[in-house]
């Protein structure tokens, strides 16, 4: 059985915006005959502002407050209300120094615009925003651009992690930081899904899967049979879902492996790196081999082994890239972007 789990902001909607009507109609059809769950850092009240009733009704349930609250449909109620499961609920009493520290960070911030509602206490977590959750959409976009340039949220998270080892600090959405006890984040939903659906495989879609993002903790709970899609927007999600027939689709990560086997049954695959496969390629007259995203492989090693970037790079270079196992050996591809620096062949990537 396949279980689909979707982040909301940036995956099914624009940040804090309602789900587009045409995409909502498509998504309802996609949900037919499938087990669909939602996962969001927002509380349930904000979720229903973004996701229309017909979409919620097409889903089995929703994990809100970064996985600390669960709402599910109660079919025994005449109006088919969606109700909170109090057995799942996970409350959180923040350390006494945390709120004063957040206020101090707020006051010392160089952010050009500050509105209100900076510290929002939700079930099981705290949501902290320097610009404030009462900002306008324009102010939200401006802060997101300013934060991308100045890295304020990453700096705040780095400071807080050093002081509060028992808490997790994950960057979420465009303007905020999610704070919760270790293990009480979006990953909390995965063991429950496995309990409710024994033997299932989980397929997760999110837009904040980089280390420090609030979708990243989910990746640590995924297994070999599971997959995840790191999306850029709801339009990207739409394309991925639209490209898939009910069997998971030809572009699903799990099926890319089967496609490579069809073009070259002797192509070798790197253990534990299936989600980093981007396709296949080679030089004439050589037969095609699997092609991996180099940086994605490094991220997987960091995630699965709790290594830092340098440790993961060292392992990648000496134990993966330089391991030639014959003509079926995979290719490890480096993408070119604005920050790309050429590393001479044989030297360790920085």
Q: 98-181 belongs to which CATH class?
A: alpha beta
Q: Judge whether residue 275 has pLDDT over 70.
A: yes
Q: Which CATH architecture has domain 2-88+185-242?
A: 3-Layer(aba) Sandwich (3.40)
Mean pLDDT, all residues of the chain? 86
CB–CB of 195/220 below 8 Å? no
> Taking residues 288-308, what's their average pLDDT?
87
Catalytic entry in 7, 178, 185, 230: 7
Cα–Cα distance, 244 to 263 (Å, whole number): 20
Q: In Å, what is the CA distance from 59 to each residue of 32, 47, 84, 109?
A: 9, 13, 14, 40
How high is the pLDDT of residue 72? 86
Catalytic entry in 9, 43, 147, 185: 9
85 annotated active-site: no
Q: Of residues 139 and 283, which shows the higher confidence score?
A: 139
Half-sphere exposure of 170 (CA within 13 A, CB side): 29
Domain limits, the chain: 2-88+185-242, 98-181, 253-333
Q: Judge whether residue 323 has pLDDT over 90.
A: no
- 236-239 long-range contacts (CB < 8 A, ≥24 apart) are 237/6, 237/11, 237/12, 237/205, 238/23, 238/26
Q: Of residues 307 and 304, which shows the higher confidence score?
A: 307
CB–CB of 173/15 below 8 Å? yes
59 SS3 class: coil
Q: Of residues 140 and 257, which shows the higher confidence score?
A: 140
How high is the pLDDT of residue 249? 45
Decide if 2-88+185-242 and 98-181 have a common fold: no
How high is the pLDDT of residue 279? 85
Q: What pTM value is reported for the model? A: 0.61
9 annotated active-site: yes
Q: CB-based contacts of 337: which residues, under 8 Å, 6+ apart?
A: none
How high is the pLDDT of residue 341? 61
pLDDT band at 251 (very low <50, low <70, confident <90, very high): very low
Say how far residue 53 (Cα) sits from the centre of its chain.
24
> Taking residues 104-129, what's their average pLDDT?
94
How high is the pLDDT of residue 82? 62
- Per mean pLDDT, which range of 106-120, 202-216, 232-246, 288-302 is the poorest? 232-246
Q: CB-based contacts of 327: which residues, under 8 Å, 6+ apart?
A: 266, 286, 287, 289
Cα–Cα distance, 220 to 201 (Å, whole number): 14
Of all residues in the chain, what percent carry a pLDDT higher than 90?
55
Tens digit of each residue's pLDDT (9 = 90 or more) over 51-103: 999 999 999 999 999 888 999 876 544 334 566 676 788 888 999 999 999 99
Query: Which residue stretches of the chain are H helix?
Result: 21-31, 44-50, 53-58, 98-108, 137-150, 152-163, 189-196, 216-219, 234-242, 253-263, 294-305, 309-315
């Amino acid at each position: 059985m396949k279980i689909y789990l979707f982040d909301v902001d940036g995956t099914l909607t624009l940040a804090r915006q309602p789900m587009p009507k045409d995409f909502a109609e498509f998504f309802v059809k996609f949900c037919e005959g499938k087990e669909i769950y939602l996962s969001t850092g927002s509380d349930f009240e904000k979720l229903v502002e973004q996701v229309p009733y017909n979409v919620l009704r097409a889903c089995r349930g929703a994990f809100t407050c970064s996985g600390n609250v669960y709402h599910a449909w109660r079919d025994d109620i005449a109006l088919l209300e969606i109700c909170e499961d109090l057995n799942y609920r996970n409350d959180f009493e923040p350390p006494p120094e945390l709120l004063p520290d957040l206020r101090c960070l707020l006051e010392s911030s160089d952010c050009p615009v500050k509105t209100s509602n900076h510290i929002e206490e939700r079930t099981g977590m705290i949501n902290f925003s320097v610009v404030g959750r009462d900002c306008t959409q324009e102010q939200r976009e401006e802060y997101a651009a300013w934060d991308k340039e100045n890295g304020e949220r990453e700096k705040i998270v780095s400071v807080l992690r050093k002081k509060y080892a028992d808490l997790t600090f994950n960057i979420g959405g465009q303007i905020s930081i999610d704070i919760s006890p270790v293990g009480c984040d979006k990953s909390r939903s995965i063991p429950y899904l496995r309990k409710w659906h024994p033997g299932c495989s989980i397929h997760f879609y999110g837009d904040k899967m980089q280390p420090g993002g609030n979708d990243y903790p989910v990746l640590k709970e995924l297994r070999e049979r599971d997959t995840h899609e790191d999306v850029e927007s709801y339009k990207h999600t739409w394309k991925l879902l639209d490209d898939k027939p009910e069997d998971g689709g030809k572009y699903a990560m799990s099926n890319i492996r089967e496609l490579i086997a069809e073009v070259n049954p002797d192509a070798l695959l790197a253990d534990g790196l299936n989600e980093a496969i981007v396709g296949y390629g080679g030089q004439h007259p050589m037969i095609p081999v699997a092609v991996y995203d180099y940086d994605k492989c490094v991220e997987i090693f960091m995630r699965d082994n709790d290594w830092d970037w340098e440790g993961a790079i060292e392992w990648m270079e000496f134990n993966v890239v330089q391991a030639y196992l014959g003509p079926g050996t995979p290719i490890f591809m480096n993408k070119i972007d604005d920050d790309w620096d050429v590393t001479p062949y044989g030297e360790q990537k920085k």
